[in-house]
Chain A
Amino acid sequence: MNALKDTWYISLRDIRTRLRMPVFLFMSMAQPILFLLLFPEIFKSVGSAMFAGGTSYLQFFTPAVLVMTGLFSAVFSGMGTIMDIDTGILSRMSATPVTRVSIILGRVIATVVVLLVQAAIILIIGVIMGVDIATGAGGALLALLLIALLGLGISAFSNGVALLVKRQETLMATTNLLTLPLMFLSTMMMPEELLPGWLQTVTNFNPVDYTIVGVRSLFLEGYNWSDLWPSFAVLGGIAVVMVIFATMMVRRRVE
């Protein structure tokens, strides 16, 4: 019970803080919006050659942009923890009876709430541009759930690393090093069949790709459970492992 309450209050604080710095909320959305506006234009002709049955590149690419939005937002979650280390808030919090797992869960859940709102905004922009979702509103919600799971894992990882390295610059470097390969070693821009063989293998170990595959399947095909189950299982598993990792880092933290 205490853990739930602590998590609730810590998330509220985090969301409140983010709302008071709206610049950052828009900053992490700038790149996905740019991608969404540009890429379908750039690849317009490729798209019509690539897909049979009239799937546009916009249609193909929008799920990936949604996932990217979640990824970009989640990866910076640890910055909040670094700020709390720098200001002494984390130390002070640690000297109270607050449940340790809540320090992580609270921030991670706040991150996910924010990234869901961001993804929803991107989705609305996509729909306005003409994206159509095979599974309708229900499928869109399920897609957001997948993105939320990815966000949970990535933001918990980001916070764990933050507690480990304790420095903004190091966290930025680490996460940048990770984000780009996660994005480009996936089916974000090309369908799997068109990727070289080694890359097809790599995508099987990329959680971001599991998310893209799941969301894309909901958008383009319908409820295709043979695509969806692996995505949910892999992303759920990673989320649990990362939350445990980050909580261990909180417990271990010595100044």
Chain B
Amino acid sequence: MTGEKSVIVTRKLTKVYKGNTKAVDGIDFEVKAGEIFAFLGPNGAGKTTTIKMLNTLLPITSGKAMVAGFDVARHPAEVRKRIGYSAQDVGVDEHATGRENLTLYGHFYRLDNATIKRRVKNILEIVGLTEYGNKMVSTYSGGMRKRLDLAMGLIHRPQILFLDEPTTGLDPQTRAHIWEYIQKLVQKLGMTIFLTTHYMEEADKLAGRIAIIDLGKIITMGTSDELKRSIGGDVVSISPAGDDPEACKELVKRAEEVLTGKPFVIGTKPADGDLAVYVKDGGSAAPGIMQVLDAQGIAVRTMSISRPSLDDVFLKYTGRTIRAQEGTRTTFAQMHRMSNRRRVR
């Protein structure tokens, strides 16, 4: 099952919600068998909508999606047999034990009793819940619930596992744990994983290839290294010393003007009162930048040099940072999501 075979293929995949909100806007991508592929983008970018079209939960408005060799719109039943799904909200039954939860899904996937018993034991081991298998889920911690949730999508050894924001709402330590389990799953079961996330570290750590998505469109796609290399060197972040946000913005604008065109500057991008300056080599460019700004009388409060992160990649292509948008920007797609948002305990 590994090699060049594509297990997910989309062509101009589009979702328009009622009221003409284009949540997903004609995206094309392919995921190869055995790959971990991540959709990275801010909330409301269209990640969950995409996952729900691929796993048959949402009808496609236009375009086409093939999953595990079947057209999602025409053969949803065939697709469902071959995929596992773990949503952002943990879909586990509180009033049942871990084992009961897993067994029920074994039946849904038409496994016989002996197989279910064997797989449940095995999968509980993989996610480290063997001791808790017979305990009620209502006694589980958040991390344990998420692990059970992952296990429930795996009982039938799916060809493709869809993970929608697998670690959102978990504390950093639990998040690192879940990453370990996901990596273990790939090692042990060798499946294809399609995941969405708005954590750069998560995409960086888990995914072979990453598609950066914003406002329903794929902005760029590649391995983490390829994406970072597209920036072309280091990132020098400058915060000018302005009295208020307006003054800062003004200074950033002026700084951008004077730096643009200088031989050691590849490009610039302002964001939230900071200026990102892309340079070939941060160490040798920093003094030059300081000099130029000094000469213009632009005082600098802080300056930092870093290797490019995926956030810099996002910034380069969209002019915004993923982090800054958390909780600040509300798109229509996001509002739609929120209005339909399930109220979780």
Contacts and interface: CB of A to CB of B under 8 A. Distances in A.
A87 B95 contact: no
Interface residues of A, number: 24
Interface stretch (B79-87, B124-132, B188-196): B79-87
Contacts of A20: 95
A184 interface: no
B91 interface: yes
Interface string B329-345: 00000000000101111
A88 B107 contact: no
A55 interface: no
Q: Chain A at the B interface: mostly helix, strand, loop or mixed? A: helix
B268 interface: no
Interface of A: 2, 5-6, 9, 13, 16-17, 20-21, 85-89, 91-98, 254-255
A242 B188 CA distance: 46
B63 interface: no
Interface of B: 52, 55-59, 77, 80-81, 83, 85-96, 100, 104-105, 107-110, 152-153, 340, 342-345
A13 B56 contact: no
Nearest to A102: B108
Nearest to B85: A95
B90 A13 contact: no
Nearest to B94: A87
A88 B89 contact: yes
Q: Which 4 A-B pairs have the closest CB atoms?
A: A92-B91, A88-B91, A88-B89, A95-B85
A86 B91 contact: no
13 contacts: A13-B93, A13-B100, A20-B95, A21-B95, A88-B344, A91-B87, A92-B85, A92-B91, A94-B56, A95-B57, A97-B109, A97-B110, A255-B340
A241 to B, nearest CB: 26
B93 A17 contact: yes
Given A88-B90, A94-B57, A95-B85, A5 B95 contact: no
Contacts of B343: 86
Contacts of B342: 85-88
A96 B152 CA distance: 11
Contacts of B93: 13, 17, 87, 89
